Structure 1
Amino acid sequence: MSKDVLGEVYGVTVQKGGVGKSTFSQALAYSFANQGYKTVLVDLDPQSTLTGAFFGYSYGAFSQTEDNGSIEYDVSNITNIFRDTDVEPIVVKTTKHLVNPNKGKMLQPHYLEEELEIDFYPSNYQLLSATESDDFTRENKIQLLYKFIDSLKTKYDRIVIDSPPSFGIITTSILKAAKAILIPIPTKNVDTDGMVGFFRTLDKIYITENLKDLSKIVLIPNMFDKRVTDAKETLTEIKRIPNLLHETKNLRNLSCKVMDPFPQKACIQEAPSFKLFLAPYIMDFHRSQNQDLILKIDNIAKELTN
């Protein structure tokens, strides 16, 4: 990417937890990095699922009490944003699989492996305290978070952010900086009233918070099981959501795309236990059955950038 072109921010957000935000955040970041983009993955959810469950970083790594009773914060503590102190990413190393030009020859594998690095900003429970403290006004907190996210645009081509399941200060900051957002929706007894409320709230803050950069919403029906009648009925409801945007005052001009449903597969739950990104886990352990999932993630990444 040319140095005079700013990177693009993609937020993974929805008002409900346990729907696959962290799964898609890490999978998208890998997809972008695998395509050659300089990519950063940011965990801005104080629940820290991405930080702990997926990458295994403990809270104890982010701050420690000194002998004199003061607290020394780690250089990668995300709450340094509120202390006017730089935050440094952690470099996560993973594997990139390349098609072997000599495949088919005797003793030659189909794929070759090389190391792939992705920068990662971890979260921790202190982030919630920082955003709820009285040290700054709401507007100042949003501005500090937005300034941090915006600064990443000069360092990276693609910025993927896992957001908290609420329309609070953090999510508002992400939305202000984002070009597009990905919304995972489980195809299990979806709360359609809740989704209506989500878009009504988004419609209001689109103007009040000046979300001028946001141009696209991508919906991914998640945990889909085609054998279950309820899942198929829910998928039909999700496909109607773009019509809901047409009825809003401010979101009607935004592009809204519903992707093909993402299936419920064991490998998706297993990858975090090995502290692996989804794609390399599939390539190493479940290639024959689940390689199509990698293509689905790549298609989502492509749709977000279009």
Structure 2
Amino acid sequence: MNGNLLRELRTRLRLSQGDLKDKLNRLLDRSYDKPRISRWENNKEPIPDDVAHVLTSLVSNQTQVARVVVMANQKGGVGKTTSSLNLAYALKTLGCRVLLVDMDPQATATIGLLAGQHVEAYHQGKTSAQLILNDKPIGDVILHPDDVPEELQLPYDLIASHIELSETDSRREPGFDVALREAIDSVKTAYDWVVVDAPPNLGMLTWMSLAAGDEVIVPVRTEPYDTMGVGLIMGTISKIQRRLNPGLRLSGILPTQYNARKSVDREVLKHLQTMLRDKTSVLIPVPSSAVYGHAARAGRVALESSPTSHATLPYLSIAKSLNDRSPLPLAPVVERETV
């Protein structure tokens, strides 16, 4: 076993290095410390066979549960909701059981999927507002495709949102920031993937979404001003990893609305690759295309209505890699242009 595999197994078990140290010491009657775990993970010291055996056994005995991927960026208009809708659909086409959780009070994903029925969902008490603010059991707020009119063609299970969810930021109570994680944990065996659409800010709802996640993808529009806030969301992710969710993994930055024919888009993509070289990956760009607008007006998911379009295929590629636990597809290296 090498350090990368050890780190992956620890992440799957949702353990910090300190948690892993404590568990190994209990199970093996040892006195390992955190620096030792760190040296193992950085391949600076060989991993003992009994440690490798214990970790492998813990993971293999773990019940198969859903993985939670969060789409997050504090800036609006970057394709976060579009990415949530299409990634969830891509995972569904792979045969996965998928739940989409709309944690944005603006409810863009909800309205896109339910049209006028989003009001009825609120009246039925089936929204993330009732889940988070009223402690309603998650099983009572999930909308299944059979729960909505057939003409809506809801492609996967959904927890709808409502403007009332914005009251979350004023709530102060112990452990409130892990309320979503606790709720999702109770239905994880019913799904393969849970996709969370976080709101466009760095408040409680975003913290709550990240605290519930296994992976986070940050959509970023390839516009100069949009890249300036990448450091803010990455800083928030780092704090969540340290304080609330050590198992959270930053899977990469997802460039959106990309036009390879425009020099400014190519320059922004190059800037992201340079800026983030030692921090995270820049994923395959999602091209700018009219298929997204057409799908939204028709109340459809773009990958559903245009499954062979070059603009939607990146979501399918990312979904396949996530589901196979293989490296995510990366953006092509952009060479700096010469005048």
Bucket of the pairwise TM-score, normalised by the shorter protein: 0.7 to 0.9
- Map residues 148-297 of structure 1 onto 2, 5 A cutoff: 148-209=183-244, 211-243=245-277, 245=279, 256-283=280-307, 287=308, 290=309, 292-297=310-315
Distance 1:174 1:152 in 2: 16
Select the residue among 134, 144, 149 that pairs with 1:83: 134
Matched to 1:78, the amino acid is: S
Shift of 1:3: 9.4
Gaps of 5+ in 1: 65-73, 94-114, 246-255
Give the whole-Å Cα distance in 1 for the aligned partners of 2:288 and 2:246: 35
Aligned partner of residue 240 in structure 1, secondary structure: helix
Higher relative contact order (CA 8 A, sep 6+): 1
Unaligned runs of 5+ in 2: 1-60, 147-152, 326-339
Provide the aligned C-alpha RMSD in A.
2.4
Q: After TM superposition, where is structure 1 displaced by more than 4 Å over at least 4 residues in a row?
A: none
Q: In the alignment, what sits opposite 1:22?
A: 81
Paired positions, count: 255
Q: Find the aligned partners of 2:130 and 2:100 in 1 and give their Cα distance.
A: 17
1:7 corresponds to 2:66: yes
Residue pair 1:16, 1:165 contacting (<8 A) in 2 also: yes
Name the amino acid aligned to 1:280: E
Q: Which has the higher strand share?
A: 1
Residues in 2 aligned to 1:85 and 1:240: alpha-carbon distance in whole angstroms:
45
Distance 1:262 1:84, change over 3 A: closer
Q: Which moved more, 1:25-34 or 1:173-182?
A: 173-182
Q: Is the 8 A contact 1:180 1:218 kept in 2?
A: no
Residue 102 of structure 2: aligned partner: 43
**Match of 1:132, as an amino acid?**
D
- Secondary structure of the 1:120 match is strand
Following superposition, the deviation at residue 53 of structure 1 comes to 3.4
Tell me by how many angstroms 1:183 deviates.
1.1
Inter-partner Cα distance in structure 1 for 2:160 and 2:116: 8
Q: Are the counterparts in 1 of residues 112 and 300 from structure 2 also a CA contact under 8 Å?
A: no
Displacement of 1:22: 0.9
3-state secondary structure, aligned to 1:27: helix
User: Quick check: 1:51–1:57 contact (8 Å CA) kept in 2?
Assistant: no
Greater fraction helix: 2
**Change over 3 Å in CA distance of 1:63–1:217 after alignment to 2:** closer
Deviations 1:54-84 (A, max 9, x none): 43145532445xxxxxxxxx24122222323
Aligned CA distance change for structure 1 residues 192 and 18 (closer, same or farther; 3 Å): closer
CA contact (8 A) 1:242 1:257 kept: yes
1:300 and 2:318 correspond = yes
1:219 alignment partner, SS class: strand
Helix, strand or coil for the counterpart of 1:148? helix
| Letter paired with 1:83 | N
Change (3 A) 1:61 1:189: same
Contact 1:181 1:304 in 2 (8 A): no
1:117: how far off? 4.4
- What residue number does 1:102 align with? none
Say which SS state the counterpart of residue 46 (structure 1) adopts. Answer: coil
1:122 aligns with 2:160: yes
